[in-house]
Amino acid sequence: EAGVTQFPSHSVIEKGQTVTLRCDPISGHDNLYWYRRVMGKEIKFLLHFVKESKQDESGMPNNRFLAERTGGTYSTLKVQPAELEDSGVYFCASSHRYSGNYNEQFFGPGTRLTVL
Amino acid sequence: LAKTTQPISMDSYEGQEVNITCSHNNIATNDYITWYQQFPSQGPRFIIQGYKTKVTNEVASLFIPADRKSSTLSLPRVSLSDTAVYYCLVGDMRNNQGGKLIFGQGTELSVKP
Protein backbone atom coordinates (compact mmCIF):
# COMPACT_ATOMS: atom_id res chain seq x y z
CA GLU A 1 0.00 0.00 0.00
CA ALA A 2 1.41 3.39 -0.95
CA GLY A 3 2.00 5.80 1.88
CA VAL A 4 1.28 9.49 2.10
CA THR A 5 3.12 11.39 -0.59
CA GLN A 6 3.98 15.06 -0.74
CA PHE A 7 5.15 17.26 -3.56
CA PRO A 8 7.53 18.94 -3.93
CA SER A 9 10.09 17.62 -1.49
CA HIS A 10 11.85 20.97 -1.47
CA SER A 11 10.84 24.44 -2.56
CA VAL A 12 12.90 27.62 -2.52
CA ILE A 13 11.06 30.83 -3.27
CA GLU A 14 11.49 34.54 -2.69
CA LYS A 15 9.49 36.57 -0.26
CA GLY A 16 6.24 37.68 -1.81
CA GLN A 17 5.95 34.75 -4.19
CA THR A 18 3.30 32.05 -4.10
CA VAL A 19 3.89 28.38 -3.40
CA THR A 20 1.48 25.47 -3.53
CA LEU A 21 2.19 22.25 -1.68
CA ARG A 22 0.41 19.04 -2.52
CA CYS A 23 -0.45 16.03 -0.41
CA ASP A 24 -1.81 12.68 -1.56
CA PRO A 25 -3.15 10.72 1.39
CA ILE A 26 -3.39 6.97 1.68
CA SER A 27 -6.29 5.78 -0.45
CA GLY A 28 -9.50 5.52 1.54
CA HIS A 29 -8.39 7.76 4.38
CA ASP A 30 -11.09 10.32 5.11
CA ASN A 31 -8.98 12.34 7.52
CA LEU A 32 -6.21 14.55 6.19
CA TYR A 33 -4.05 16.85 8.28
CA TRP A 34 -1.47 19.53 7.68
CA TYR A 35 1.29 20.26 10.19
CA ARG A 36 4.45 22.30 10.05
CA ARG A 37 7.69 22.72 11.89
CA VAL A 38 9.37 26.07 11.67
CA MET A 39 13.01 26.52 12.63
CA GLY A 40 13.76 25.32 16.14
CA LYS A 41 10.14 24.87 17.07
CA GLU A 42 7.86 21.91 17.64
CA ILE A 43 5.64 20.32 15.03
CA LYS A 44 2.42 22.34 15.00
CA PHE A 45 -1.02 21.45 13.72
CA LEU A 46 -2.44 23.59 10.92
CA LEU A 47 -5.75 22.04 9.91
CA HIS A 48 -7.81 18.89 9.56
CA PHE A 49 -10.06 17.79 6.71
CA VAL A 50 -12.71 15.12 6.92
CA LYS A 51 -13.22 14.22 3.28
CA GLU A 52 -13.59 17.61 1.59
CA SER A 53 -14.77 19.52 4.66
CA LYS A 54 -12.56 21.50 7.00
CA GLN A 55 -13.10 19.97 10.43
CA ASP A 56 -10.62 22.12 12.31
CA GLU A 57 -8.56 24.97 10.95
CA SER A 58 -7.61 26.48 14.28
CA GLY A 59 -3.90 26.15 13.56
CA MET A 60 -3.81 28.15 10.34
CA PRO A 61 -1.54 31.09 11.12
CA ASN A 62 -3.19 33.74 8.94
CA ASN A 63 -5.13 34.36 5.75
CA ARG A 64 -2.05 33.96 3.60
CA PHE A 65 -2.54 30.22 3.96
CA LEU A 66 -5.27 28.47 2.00
CA ALA A 67 -5.92 24.74 2.10
CA GLU A 68 -8.24 22.84 -0.18
CA ARG A 69 -9.29 19.26 -0.63
CA THR A 70 -11.61 19.20 -3.58
CA GLY A 71 -13.31 15.85 -4.06
CA GLY A 72 -12.00 14.57 -0.77
CA THR A 73 -8.84 13.06 -2.23
CA TYR A 74 -5.59 15.02 -2.49
CA SER A 75 -5.09 18.35 -0.75
CA THR A 76 -3.19 21.50 -1.55
CA LEU A 77 -1.80 24.13 0.78
CA LYS A 78 -1.13 27.48 -0.83
CA VAL A 79 0.93 30.22 0.75
CA GLN A 80 0.37 33.61 -0.85
CA PRO A 81 2.34 35.79 -0.46
CA ALA A 82 5.10 33.89 1.28
CA GLU A 83 7.00 35.53 4.12
CA LEU A 84 10.36 34.69 5.63
CA GLU A 85 8.78 33.19 8.75
CA ASP A 86 6.92 30.64 6.64
CA SER A 87 10.14 28.72 6.10
CA GLY A 88 10.04 25.26 7.59
CA VAL A 89 8.93 21.71 6.92
CA TYR A 90 5.29 21.11 6.08
CA PHE A 91 3.95 17.65 6.86
CA CYS A 92 0.78 16.05 5.67
CA ALA A 93 -0.82 13.11 7.46
CA SER A 94 -3.86 10.96 6.90
CA SER A 95 -5.86 8.53 8.97
CA HIS A 96 -8.72 6.12 8.62
CA ARG A 97 -11.84 6.60 10.69
CA TYR A 98 -11.82 2.99 11.78
CA SER A 99 -8.15 2.44 12.51
CA GLY A 100 -7.26 -0.26 15.00
CA ASN A 101 -5.45 2.38 17.02
CA TYR A 102 -6.95 5.61 18.27
CA ASN A 103 -6.26 8.41 15.85
CA GLU A 104 -3.20 6.75 14.29
CA GLN A 105 -1.95 9.17 11.70
CA PHE A 106 0.33 8.31 8.80
CA PHE A 107 2.72 11.06 7.86
CA GLY A 108 4.30 11.96 4.57
CA PRO A 109 7.99 12.85 4.28
CA GLY A 110 7.28 16.56 4.33
CA THR A 111 7.98 19.51 2.05
CA ARG A 112 10.88 21.70 3.05
CA LEU A 113 10.00 25.30 2.21
CA THR A 114 12.64 27.99 2.18
CA VAL A 115 11.59 31.60 1.73
CA LEU A 116 14.45 33.95 0.85
CA LEU B 1 -5.15 18.12 26.32
CA ALA B 2 -2.52 17.06 28.81
CA LYS B 3 0.94 18.53 28.38
CA THR B 4 3.82 16.10 28.13
CA THR B 5 7.41 16.48 29.31
CA GLN B 6 10.32 14.37 28.09
CA PRO B 7 14.11 14.54 28.26
CA ILE B 8 15.47 16.55 25.36
CA SER B 9 18.12 14.00 24.47
CA MET B 10 19.53 10.61 25.38
CA ASP B 11 22.59 8.66 24.35
CA SER B 12 22.91 4.91 24.15
CA TYR B 13 25.08 2.19 22.66
CA GLU B 14 24.15 -0.58 20.31
CA GLY B 15 22.66 -3.59 22.04
CA GLN B 16 21.48 -1.71 25.11
CA GLU B 17 17.90 -1.35 26.29
CA VAL B 18 16.68 2.23 26.19
CA ASN B 19 13.90 3.58 28.37
CA ILE B 20 12.42 6.99 27.66
CA THR B 21 10.07 8.34 30.29
CA CYS B 22 7.37 10.89 29.61
CA SER B 23 5.55 12.87 32.25
CA HIS B 24 1.87 13.79 31.78
CA ASN B 25 0.67 14.83 35.21
CA ASN B 26 -2.63 16.28 34.01
CA ILE B 27 -3.76 13.29 32.00
CA ALA B 28 -7.54 12.89 31.94
CA THR B 29 -9.61 9.73 32.34
CA ASN B 30 -10.45 9.62 28.62
CA ASP B 31 -6.89 10.20 27.44
CA TYR B 32 -4.73 7.55 25.81
CA ILE B 33 -0.95 7.67 25.38
CA THR B 34 0.80 7.36 22.04
CA TRP B 35 4.42 7.37 20.99
CA TYR B 36 5.73 8.40 17.57
CA GLN B 37 9.20 8.02 16.10
CA GLN B 38 10.74 10.40 13.59
CA PHE B 39 13.85 9.73 11.53
CA PRO B 40 15.75 12.60 9.88
CA SER B 41 14.06 13.87 6.73
CA GLN B 42 10.93 11.80 7.37
CA GLY B 43 7.57 12.37 8.95
CA PRO B 44 6.68 10.97 12.38
CA ARG B 45 5.68 7.31 12.51
CA PHE B 46 3.32 5.67 15.01
CA ILE B 47 5.11 3.20 17.29
CA ILE B 48 2.84 2.17 20.14
CA GLN B 49 -0.21 3.20 22.08
CA GLY B 50 -1.75 2.34 25.42
CA TYR B 51 -4.14 3.32 28.17
CA LYS B 52 -2.81 1.54 31.24
CA THR B 53 -0.44 -1.24 32.38
CA LYS B 54 1.82 -2.68 29.70
CA VAL B 55 1.59 -2.91 25.94
CA THR B 56 4.11 -4.69 23.74
CA ASN B 57 4.48 -4.94 20.00
CA GLU B 58 7.25 -5.90 17.60
CA VAL B 59 8.94 -2.53 17.97
CA ALA B 60 8.70 -1.53 21.62
CA SER B 61 7.01 -1.87 24.98
CA LEU B 62 5.03 0.78 26.76
CA PHE B 63 4.76 0.80 30.53
CA ILE B 64 2.06 2.88 32.20
CA PRO B 65 1.76 2.96 36.01
CA ALA B 66 -1.57 2.85 37.77
CA ASP B 67 -1.80 6.63 38.25
CA ARG B 68 -1.06 7.15 34.51
CA LYS B 69 0.87 10.34 35.24
CA SER B 70 3.84 9.04 33.33
CA SER B 71 4.71 6.43 30.74
CA THR B 72 7.93 4.73 29.68
CA LEU B 73 8.80 3.67 26.17
CA SER B 74 11.21 0.75 26.20
CA LEU B 75 13.30 -0.15 23.16
CA PRO B 76 15.04 -3.51 23.55
CA ARG B 77 18.57 -3.92 22.23
CA VAL B 78 18.80 -0.74 20.16
CA SER B 79 20.75 -0.52 16.94
CA LEU B 80 22.17 2.45 15.05
CA SER B 81 18.96 2.59 13.02
CA ASP B 82 16.98 3.45 16.17
CA THR B 83 18.61 6.88 16.21
CA ALA B 84 15.60 9.18 15.93
CA VAL B 85 13.38 11.61 17.80
CA TYR B 86 10.71 9.99 19.96
CA TYR B 87 7.52 11.87 20.81
CA CYS B 88 5.08 11.14 23.59
CA LEU B 89 1.54 12.39 22.95
CA VAL B 90 -1.71 12.31 24.88
CA GLY B 91 -5.06 12.28 23.11
CA ASP B 92 -8.76 12.04 23.89
CA MET B 93 -10.29 8.64 23.13
CA ARG B 94 -13.72 10.19 22.73
CA ASN B 95 -12.55 11.95 19.58
CA ASN B 96 -13.13 8.92 17.39
CA GLN B 97 -13.32 11.07 14.26
CA GLY B 98 -9.67 11.87 14.51
CA GLY B 99 -8.21 15.15 15.61
CA LYS B 100 -5.03 17.11 15.83
CA LEU B 101 -1.92 15.65 17.39
CA ILE B 102 -0.08 17.89 19.81
CA PHE B 103 3.66 17.33 19.65
CA GLY B 104 6.09 18.36 22.32
CA GLN B 105 9.80 18.76 21.82
CA GLY B 106 10.43 15.01 21.78
CA THR B 107 13.50 13.09 22.90
CA GLU B 108 16.41 12.89 20.50
CA LEU B 109 17.93 9.43 20.92
CA SER B 110 21.44 8.91 19.63
CA VAL B 111 22.68 5.33 19.39
CA LYS B 112 26.43 4.90 19.12
CA PRO B 113 28.47 1.89 17.97
pLDDT 10s per residue in chain B (113 long)?
568 999 999 999 999 999 999 999 999 998 999 999 999 999 999 999 999 989 999 999 999 999 999 999 999 999 999 999 999 999 887 665 678 999 999 999 999 99
Contact call for B91 and A55, based on CB within 8 A: no
pLDDT in tens, A2-41: 899 999 999 999 999 999 999 999 999 999 999 999 988 9
In the prediction, which pLDDT does A75 show? 98
Strand blocks (E) in chain A:
5-7, 10-13, 19-24, 31-38, 44-50, 53-56, 65-68, 75-79, 88-95, 106-107, 111-115
How far apart are alpha carbons A58 and A48 in whole angstroms? 9
Residues of B in contact with A54 (CB under 8 A): none
| B63 to A38, A47, A85, A112, B70: CA distances (angstroms) | 32, 31, 39, 35, 9
Residue A102 C-alpha, separation from nearest chain B C-alpha, in angstroms: 7
Q: Nearest CA of chain A to the CA of B41: how many Å?
A: 7
What is the rounded average pLDDT of the residues A97-105?
79
